[in-house]
Structures are given as structure tokens and as C-alpha cells.
Amino acid sequence: MADKFVNGLIVKAPHDRAPDFVKCRISIKRKDLGNWLRERDEDWINLDVKVSREGKWYAEINDWKPDSKSEEPVKKDDQDFDDPIPF
């Protein structure tokens, strides 16, 4: 499994006296993050900010990709409803 953590990117909980609109603090170690980014070949890198069981905040790569073999969605006309419209 590939490393899912970002070198040079540190996520921390907001300061105790931070206003409610501050959700987290992010620190960047420019050299480490730059080296890590140069090793990647994706155009976009999605991250999820998470909290460990011990309460430590961290960023993890979200590498989810849609399944290309997924079924086509059901069309509304194909749905069968037994209940009459309630209005």
C-alpha cells in the first residue's frame, strides 16, 4: 500500500481560544512538501483532514476513484410506486 500521508504538511486542532470558524491549523514545511509533490504525478491530490483515536489531527490522501463498471442509474420513469401522491 502506498504511503497515504503527506510529507511536510502538519495539521493541528485549532487553538483553544480560536473563533468557531477556524476549523484547523495547517503548517507547511516547504522543502519537504515540495519534494513530496515532485514525486507525485497526479494533477489533483485530494486530502481528508482526520483525527486519530488519540486525538491527533492529520491529513491523509483520499485516493477514491469511481468504479468505471458501475451500473447505470435507474431512470425515474422505470420506478414503480404503490403509494399515491400525498397531495
Q: Is 61 helix (H, G, I), strand (E, B) or coil?
A: strand
Q: What does the domain layout of the chain look like in residue ranges? A: 9-65
What is the model's pLDDT at position 3? 76
32-76 pLDDT, tens digit per residue, is: 999 999 999 999 999 999 999 999 999 999 998 888 776 666 666
Question: Grid coordinates standing for 20?
Answer: 468557531
Residue 78 has pLDDT above 70, yes or no: no
Q: How far is CA 15 from the centre of its chain?
A: 22
pLDDT value of residue 70: 60
Phi, psi of 9 (to 5 degrees): -125, 115
pLDDT tens-digit series, residues 13-22: 999 999 999 9
pLDDT tops 50 at residue 1: no
* Coil, helix or strand at residue 74: coil
The cell for 72 is 447505470
For range 76-85, the mean pLDDT: 65
